[in-house]
Homo-oligomer: A and B are copies of this chain.
Amino acid sequence: MDTQAEIEDFILNGHLRYVPHVSIDCAIFGYHEQQLKVLLIKHKYIEGWCLPGGYIKRTETLVQAANRNVMERTGINNLFLQQFKAFGDPGRARINEFDEEKWFRVTGVRVTKNNWLIDQTISIGFYAITDFSRSVPKPDMMSEDCAWFDIDNLPKLEFDHDEMVKEALHTMRVQLYHYPIGYNLLPEKFTLTEIHALYETLLGKKLDISNFPKKLMALGLLKKLNEKRSIGPHRSPHLYVFDKDAYDKALKEGVVLS
């Protein structure tokens, strides 16, 4: 969606290529150095911040749609997006507030109240985790802005996106114990302390450091290297890497535990 012609075509004829009444919203969590953030965007047409999302092409699967939307809105690619819930309560999208003049001002396209975009939608929520230092968001033409926000310092979000973030976070924390996590969130070679901090931050609570290595290694996803990292006047920690094969297998089948 880069030219005015494309936008106009999307608004006027999008219902032919996209499934109307259904949208996707993505809660993208960003981790880096013990900080947990969420990616928010500001639509040109909408006042406040909201989750990146969009419509589903008639030819693509839900996950593909989620990935494409995130890519288009933020430039971030190849996320492992997980569906967590559908939201459809009436009034969630605040359709009644449609303002024809404002739409024209912002998009340059005259739309009427029966345009496919001006109607109730049911939204399917996805979540993902990425490294926010390696994922610099690039807003598209429809978005004014796009930025990472601290998870416990979020602005009031539009629509029901507050609830979506809350539910996404809850689901993510439950799934943490059942899916492998960490790939792309840590340096290729990392220390126990680093992955420990990752888990603590994602879960939002302390995890006993001395028991952590045993549990972690029991997952069978890590390989201990014969290398250490020098960190100044302290004992040099061992380096670890993910065992790619075991990791990919666990992604498909879930971690066998609990």
Cα distance A60–B21 in the bound complex, in angstroms: 15
Contacting residues, chain B, for A211 (C-beta < 8 A): none
Contacting residues, chain B, for A124 (C-beta < 8 A): 86, 88, 122
Q: How many residues of A contact B (CB 8 A)?
A: 22
Could you say how many copies of this chain the assembly holds?
2
| CB-based contact B88/A61 at 8 Å | yes
| CB-based contact B89/A86 at 8 Å | no
In the complex, whether A20 has a CB less than 8 A from a CB of chain B is yes
In the complex, whether A58 has a CB less than 8 A from a CB of chain B is yes
In the complex, whether A191 has a CB less than 8 A from a CB of chain B is no
Which one, B20, B85, B90, B258, contacts A21 given CB within 8 A?
A: B20
In the complex, whether A241 has a CB less than 8 A from a CB of chain B is no
| CB-based contact B90/A60 at 8 Å | yes
Cα distance A205–B65 in the bound complex, in angstroms: 38
Contacting residues, chain B, for A62 (C-beta < 8 A): 86-89, 122
Cα distance A87–B88 in the bound complex, in angstroms: 15
